[in-house]
Structure 1
């Protein structure tokens, strides 16, 4: 995905021992998505602006991801969503959300 979407800046960070490590993927200085390792899967997080939220609702995302967007916590930067990636359907949703974020 990093190559596909030209997310050339990759930054590993740990905010606290309890939170563990996360990988931030960026295009130039813009944060696109965050990945965190879990047992048997990984967690992905996005912060989507208003235009990206509207575009995501119109996209081909699974209903559960749309529900996460609708219920996502609002931050000054946008709506935060996160979910565990456990299989191909989840990876497809990550690709769609990444494209939506980059386009908006």
Structure 2
């Protein structure tokens, strides 16, 4: 499903709706938000409506740089990040799972870097995502 579970332009999702929509994965969402804020305390959290095709997503930004995208789905969510060359190199030489490395390697390189989205349906990639957030924030690049 490409589209957010929150599709109505006039209704910004609230925490109760989010918790209901994400079900058992809500705690992982909260973990990623808290970890990002801890590493980048001045970062801002905003909901963003990307049009009828995609619906609502949640972003954490540090100045103009988006650190993470959280994309709510039905009973799960996706986390999206974009990595510049230095961060990509750090990831490729890290202990992060080969699945994530392969996805990053296969991602098309754009001016802002390589973007990946990871579906969070269970705790499998939680530690890897926390490491990706560390790399993203500490690399200082998109």
TM-score by length of 1: 0.90
- Of the three residues 46, 51, 55, the one matched with 2:81 is 46
Q: How many Å apart are 1:3 and its aligned residue?
A: 3.2
Structure 1: runs of 5+ lacking an equivalent:
none
Does residue 56 (structure 1) correspond to residue 91 (structure 2)? The answer is yes
> Does the CA-based 8 Å contact 1:25-1:31 persist in structure 2?
yes
TM-score by length of 2: 0.68
Larger CA Rg, structure 1 vs 2: 2
> Does the CA-based 8 Å contact 1:73-1:81 persist in structure 2?
no
- Of the three residues 89, 108, 122, the one matched with 1:87 is 122
The whole-number CA distance in structure 1 between the counterparts of 2:75 and 2:82 is 24
Structure 2: runs of 5+ lacking an equivalent:
1-34
Aligned residue pair count: 104
The whole-number CA distance in structure 2 between the counterparts of 1:48 and 1:88 is 23
Deviations 1:66-103 (A, max 9, x none): 01111012111001111201122222121111111112
CA RMSD after TM alignment: 1.4
> Does the CA-based 8 Å contact 2:36-2:133 persist in structure 1?
no
